[in-house]
Amino acid sequence: MTELIPAPRSVVAGSGEVRLTAHSQLYAGTATEGVGHWLRTVLCQATGLPLREGWELDDTEGDGIGLQLDPGLGPEEYRLVSDPTGVLIEGGSAAGVFWGAQTLRQLLGPDAYRRAPLGRDRTWAVPHVTIEDAPRFGWRGLMLDVARHFMPKDGVLRYLDLMAAHKLNVFHFHLTDDQGWRVEIQRYPKLTETGSWRSRTKFGHRASPLWEEKPHGGYYTQDDIREIVAYAAERHITVVPEIDVPGHSQAAIAAYPELGNTDVIAASMEGAPSLSVWDTWGISPNVLAPTDNTLRFYEGVFEELLDLFPSEFIHVGGDECLKDQWRQSPTAQARIKELGLADEDELQSWFIGHFDKWLTARGRRLIGWDEILEGGLADGAAVSSWRGYQGGIAAARAGHDVVMCPEQQVYLDHRQAPGADEPVPIGYVRTLEDVYRFEPVPPELTSAEAAHVLGAQSNVWTEVMEDPARVDYQTFPRLTAFAEVAWSALPAPAERDFGDFERRMAAHYRRLDALGVAYRPPAGPLPWQRRPGVLGRPIEGPPPNR
């Protein structure tokens, strides 16, 4: 009962239990019907109990479950009471009730996460307890890169379920990059006809001599996206799409060459065929041309995107835009002069600023990686601070909202241990305990500045993750530690009780087993999780903390 993850704000234990039986009913009050449908579905699958619909709260007396709103609670706050009258979950909104339902599922034990009963008689019981809980941050995010290695739709839906089980509520959907374009745009069909497939794939770090010599790719139709967004919404998760501009755009340029700096590319390729979707890792020098044609093209992309994603924020990337082509391009240099800009950094700022105004005019907000600070930050833009904390600190001090996702703390593609068996080791060692001691709010910020920290996000970049099992291995169990950091009101990093977290993880691993998660075991990778002979890029020593 005390093995809950993330840790609740308050737990008061009782002395008995509520037993769910074939006669138990589930009552969902006004505005909680969707949560009731979800909870009945998952519990019926796992337990085989019918959990018939109750028509009033009294129907749950003794052995049932009741769901209802309490306007005195915060939007994502909940109260779960299990006592001789049954189980009652109240929330300040349907989202709060949903997070309470997730806690109830944990209280029922690991088998409550299965999709069919185990076929043996057992008791389904909820201990008598009163739990009061609310999240620390409103943005508790996971970014999944499906551009480098495509994840089919069912895999994305599975990750939304895993997020919900850990009370994470923002899914940052990295849909485009140099290595692939993953979302159907009907007015520009070549983005997926050409841009969603590459001819081969580098296996391991970009310095690796190994290649997978077969095409790789795929994309989500607009109906797929609608399904993903609706599935997320049922789980109170917001999907924030990312379309990368002006860098990380070679897949788009491969599909529509006129989007690139043609005056530079033509000269460098000396009559060779146009660019292809990139088949290796790193930062491509091929970036978007700062032309009116490019702006109009991407306005068309975003117009279709806004119809698919109702999220307040739209992510435009803005990171790692190499500016060598702009320096060499007469067209780009003429644009700098025409606009009265100082340099290429200000040209990128102008590019991002255009879409900030365009999105603002349509009631949305732009968010981008912290490079959008270079050359001046667009009014109203928010920042994903990935290159350490400094970008987030600068943005918050300037009055801009921030999501903290510093690379050396919460990039889950980085290796988890120093051992030689770690598959394709990337970056510094970031253990489960390291993630547990991540603090999203820099101590340098005043309380007013800290209010601009919307929350935190862990990022999963998939260059060296060739299949969903590798994604699971890198993501779990560290995502559980991140989820507690983002949800729970923990003490300062050095004062956090990691021993207690490990104790609770001993139970949580059984939940992950029931969910079929191929996590990294505490003792190290299993034989089939290793990748002997595949080159990584490990970095020795302690990572920089800023």
Which are the catalytic amino acids? Answer: 177, 248, 320
Whose structure tokens read 């889950």? Answer: 412
Question: Using an 8 Å Cβ cutoff, are 120 and 114 in contact?
Answer: no
DSSP per-residue string spanning 343-391:
SHHHHHHHHHHHHHHHHHTTT-EEEEEGGGGTT-PPTT-EEEE-SSSHH
Query: What is the rounded distance in angstroms from the CA atom of residue 410 to the CA atom of residue 464?
Result: 17
Angle at CA of residue 426, ends 424 and 432, nearest 5°:
100
| Short-list 316, 313, 310, CA closest to 298 | 316
Buried b (16+ CB within 10 A) or exposed e, 50-82: ebeebeebebbeebbbbbbbbeebeebbbbbbb
| Short-list 32, 26, 38, 515, CA closest to 234 | 38
User: In this structure, what is the dihedral angle of CA atoms 322, 327, 328, 333, given to the nearest 10 degrees?
Assistant: 130
Name 171's bridge partners.
142, 239
Query: What is the rounded distance in angstroms from the CA atom of residue 4 to the CA atom of residue 80?
Result: 13
Question: Using an 8 Å Cβ cutoff, are 91 and 81 in contact?
Answer: no
Query: What is the rounded distance in angstroms from the CA atom of residue 236 to the CA atom of residue 230?
Result: 10
- Residues 6 or more apart whose CB falls under 8 angstroms from that of 521 comprise none
Structure tokens at 111: 């088998």
Q: In a 3-state reduction of DSSP, which class is residue 397?
A: helix
Query: What is the rounded distance in angstroms from the CA atom of residue 493 to the CA atom of residue 438?
Result: 7
Angle at CA of residue 344, ends 342 and 347, nearest 5°:
80
Handedness of CA 175, 180, 182, 183 (dihedral sign): positive
- Residues 6 or more apart whose CB falls under 8 angstroms from that of 227 comprise 153, 157
